Structures are given as structure tokens and as C-alpha cells.
Copies of this chain bind each other. A is one copy, B any other.
């Protein structure tokens, strides 16, 4: 009965990842003990260890899931709209945030809270650093592409360095995550996005 087993395996992995995400978002990677995860998942040590071979493996899986999402959405938003035009950078930024509100695994706040821990980890782990570089670069390039298109349309000052513009847009996303993590519910994400759009799309609506 391989089919049933596969589903079972996938379901258990999800169950464990979900528990781990909740713990990591609450306490960070290091302050989360495996015991915390066993308890959150309602499983025994042996059970968890038969799906993930170490705590590090679990951390990596959570990070990969998070990174994967970014890379994927960045790709989507540089594609042409139905009417054939490319999004304005600010427009793409707003869509990106919007998309992030409906994530498969966990909540936006959980992801925001995990973000600094993720950045912290990638400093020490070359593999993770490569993934982080790839994810951020993809995002930056996406925005750079949109910026160049905007400049061609005359919607963005030609003097602006499109590549650096991509970095700034990325920073606005990173800053949003950090400010959510600092201010929690006291952060008005909608107002933030509105002003970010105004800044990125300078006078275009």
C-alpha cells in the first residue's frame, strides 16, 4: 500500500513542519527545544526523528519553504498581466504583500517572526546563505526588470539605477517584516503598503 503510505508520510511531515513553524516563530530556532516540537506536534521523539533526521534538518526545511515562496512569487509578478503590460514596481510590491497574506503553511506573523532568525542563520550556513542570496537576488531582479520597463514607459526617472531600485524595493519588504516583528498588531501594514506604492511608482497611479 505505497499510495496510502506516501500520503501518510506527507501528512506527518506537514504536521511536524507546522508544529516546528509555530515553535520557531514563538521562540526562535535556538530557544525551541526538540521537546517543544514533540509536544506541539503531539508526537514522540522517535516519530519526529523518523521524518526529519535532526533539528537542523527541520530548521532547513522551514527555511526552504519560506525561501521557496519568495522566489516563486517574485517570478509570478514579473510576468505580463492579461492586457500584455508589465506591472508597475509599486503595483507588484502591493501584490507581493497581498500574496503573502495567504500562505499555505503558517501565518504572515509567523513568517515575519521567523524572518530575522532565518537571516541570522544564513550568516553561518553557506548552503543557507546561497539560498538566501538566490532568493533575494531573484526578488531584486524582478523589481529591476519592472523598473526598467517603467523607465522605458517614462514612468520612472531614467537617472535611477534600476538594479539598486530593485534592492530598495526588497528593503521595503524586509523592513515591513521587521516592523511587524517589532510592532506586532500595532503596525498598519495597509498604510505602509500605500505609501510604499506612492514612493516606488512616483506619481504614477
Contacts and interface: CB of A to CB of B under 8 A. Distances in A.
A136 interface: yes
Interface in A179-205: 179, 181-183, 191-192, 194-196, 198-200, 202-203
A174 interface: yes
A195 B160 contact: yes
A119 interface: yes
Contacts of A171: 171-172, 174-176, 178-179
A192 B119 CA distance: 19
A31 B124 contact: yes
A119 B164 contact: no
A170 interface: yes
A33 to B, nearest CB: 12
A76 interface: no
Given A195-B164, A195-B165, A172 B172 contact: yes
A159 interface: yes
A151 B44 CA distance: 60
A106 interface: no
A55 interface: no
Q: How big is the A interface, by class?
A: 35 or more
Nearest to A132: B182
A132 B120 CA distance: 17
Contact of A178 (B164, B174, B181, B200): B174
A198 B117 contact: no
A99 interface: no
Contact of A157 (B113, B119, B203): B203
A30 B26 CA distance: 16
Contact of A159 (B31, B124, B129, B198): B198
Top 9 closest pairs, chain A to chain B, by CB: A171-B175, A30-B30, A164-B195, A116-B119, A116-B116, A116-B120, A174-B175, A117-B120, A174-B178
